[in-house]
Amino acid sequence: MRIVIQRVSEASVSIENHKVAEIQSGLLVLLGIVEDDDQEDINYLVRKTANLRIFNDENEVMNKSLIDIAGEVIVVSQFTLQAATKKGNRPSYIKAAKPDIAIPLYTNFVQTLEKEIGKKVQTGQFGADMQVALVNDGPVTIIIDSKNKE
């Protein structure tokens, strides 16, 4: 399981020109799932997402977490995060989990994150053609892969 975390001052997700999610200060999380991901991967990435100290404190030092600032979150499923680009110029998405595996893991990730931060997490729509808009604050962008914990 791989995530891209972007610290945002605002973000939204639209489908067919209809906004389905919108936040102010917090995180936009893009989530890519592979076939062998499980609850351990979810737990690891949820703890990281909730507790990464990437928000400024009163001294403008990145010393606060999402929980500390009571920030908002949008989670968007993005199978292209699992693209293999080693051969040729056309990315291969063969590692990305199929919907029957990915949807329950995506749903579980969102629910686990909600429990961790104690508030509702907004989402895109799995498998939809989404337009994601954001103002990356900083910019701060962090990539975490649950298979590379060390």
Q: How is 41-74 classified by DSSP, letter by letter?
A: HHHHHHHHHHH---EE-TTS-EEE-HHHHT-EEE
Catalytic-labelled residue, pool 80, 85, 107, 112:
80
**Phi, psi (5° rounding) for residue 112?**
-65, -40
85 is catalytic: no
Residues 6+ positions from 139 with CB-CB distance below 8 Å: 6, 7
Could you give the residue numbers annotated as active site?
A: 80
